[in-house]
């Protein structure tokens, strides 16, 4: 499957808008998990595979896409986020906090029992 990049058609959109390419890229199986695990620092392939709980084939595909999108690069320490990748991870943190509030709002109300 072709790596979604800004300027071209992606799954669900032909507009070429960067946000649509990003959402397509991040929506792929285990993609966010790989980014999340690398946000804590570089990892070699096998530890990253274990941390992301994915198969070698899927991880190879995701790393190839993330490298083509210039969000991940190889280093002596394994795989690590690029400057753009670290910036993206920082922008995802507020979403993580929002999701916790959202989860709490969906929890059953204990005061009615």
Cα separation of 88 and 32, whole Å?
A: 11
Query: Are the C-beta atoms of 63 and 72 separated by less than 8 Å?
Result: yes
Give the SS3 label for residue 5: coil
Cα separation of 43 and 65, whole Å?
A: 17
pLDDT tens column, 62-93: 999 999 999 999 999 999 999 999 999 999 99
CATH 1.10.10.10 at 18-103, yes or no:
yes
pLDDT tens column, 91-100: 999 998 999 9
The model's pTM: 0.86
């Amino acid at each position: 499957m072709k790596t979604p990049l800004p300027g071209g058609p992606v799954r669900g959109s032909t507009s070429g808008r960067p946000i649509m390419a990003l959402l397509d890229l991040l929506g792929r199986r285990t993609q966010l998990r790989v980014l999340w695990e690398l946000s804590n620092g570089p990892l070699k392939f096998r530890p990253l595979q274990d941390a992301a709980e994915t198969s070698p084939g899927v991880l190879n595909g995701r790393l190839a896409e993330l490298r083509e999108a210039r969000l991940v690069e190889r280093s002596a320490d394994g795989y690590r986020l690029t400057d753009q990748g670290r910036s993206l991870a920082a922008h995802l943190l507020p979403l993580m906090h929002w999701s916790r509030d959202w989860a709490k709002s969906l929890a059953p109300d204990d005061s009615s029992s």
